[in-house]
Amino acid sequence: MKDIKIEIPKDVKYIIDTLINSSHEAYIVGGCVRDFILGREPKDWDITTNALPLDTIELFKANGFNVIETGLKHGTVTVMINGEGFEITTFRIDSESSDSRHPDSVTFTNSLKEDLSRRDFTINALAYNEKTGLIDYFNGLEDLKSKVIRCVGNAEDRFNEDSLRMLRAVRFSCQLNFEIEDATKCALATNPRRLTLLSAERVREELCKILISDNVYFGIKQLHYLDMLKYIIPELEECYGFEQHNKHHDKTVFGHILSVLENTPAKLELRLSALLHDIGKPKCFTIGEDRQGHFLQHHKHSADMSRKILTRLKFDNKTIDKVCVLVYEHMNRYDFLRTKNTKKFMNRVGVDNLDDLFELQIADIKGSAKEYQDFSNVLILKRDCEKILNEKQPLAIKDLDINGNDLIQLGVKKGKEIGIILNQLLEMILDNSELNIKDKLAEIVKTNCISC
pTM: 0.89
Domain 149-232 has CATH 1.10.110.30: yes
Distance CA 257, CA 266 (A): 15
First-to-last C-alpha distance (Å) of the chain: 86
Element (H, E) at 76: strand 76-81
Q: Tell me, what's the pLDDT at 333?
A: 67
The answer, yes or no, to whether residue 78 has pLDDT greater than 80, is: yes
Question: Quick one: fold of 10-146?
Answer: Beta Polymerase; domain 2 (3.30.460)
Average of per-residue pLDDT values in the chain:
91
Window from 72-76, 83-87, 217-221, 269-273 with minimum mean pLDDT: 72-76
Cβ contacts of residue 164 below 8 Å, gap of 6+?
A: 101, 198, 202, 203, 206
- pLDDT of the residue at 98: 53
Most confident listed range (60-69, 88-97, 261-270, 371-380): 261-270
- The pLDDT-based confidence of 452 (bands split at 50, 70, 90) is very low
Q: What is the pLDDT of residues 340-354, one digit of tens each?
A: 788 889 989 999 999
| pLDDT at res. 208 | 98
pLDDT at residue number 445: 85
- Which amino acid type is present at position 255? G
Question: In CATH, what number does 250-393 get?
Answer: 1.10.3210
pLDDT at residue 2, rounded to an integer: 63
Q: If DSSP states are collapsed to H, E and C, what string results for 399-440?
A: HCCCCHHHHHHCCCCCCHHHHHHHHHHHHHHHHCHHHCCHHH
Phi, psi of 119 (to 5 degrees): -80, 165
CB contact at 8 A, 122 and 140: yes
**Rounded average pLDDT over 53-82:** 92
Give domain limits for the chain.
Answer: 10-146, 149-232, 250-393, 397-448
Is 101 a residue whose pLDDT tops 60? no
| AA identity, residue 113 | K
Q: pLDDT at position 334, please? A: 58
- Cβ of 249: how many Cβ atoms within 10 Å? 21
DSSP E strand stretches across 153-253: 179-180
d(C-alpha 212, C-alpha 345), whole Å: 28
- What is the identity of the amino acid at 438? K
DSSP string, 115-153: HHHTSSBGGG--EEETTTEEE-TT-HHHHHHHTEE-BSS
Q: Is the dihedral of CA 403, 390, 376, 217 positive or negative?
A: negative
φ and ψ of 93, to 5 deg: -120, 125
Residue 427's pLDDT band, with cuts at 50, 70 and 90, is confident
pLDDT in tens, 111-154: 999 999 999 999 999 999 999 999 999 999 999 999 999 999 99
The residues, ordered by sequence, that sit 6+ positions from 46 with a Cβ below 8 Å of its Cβ are 28, 29, 30, 31, 32, 87, 89
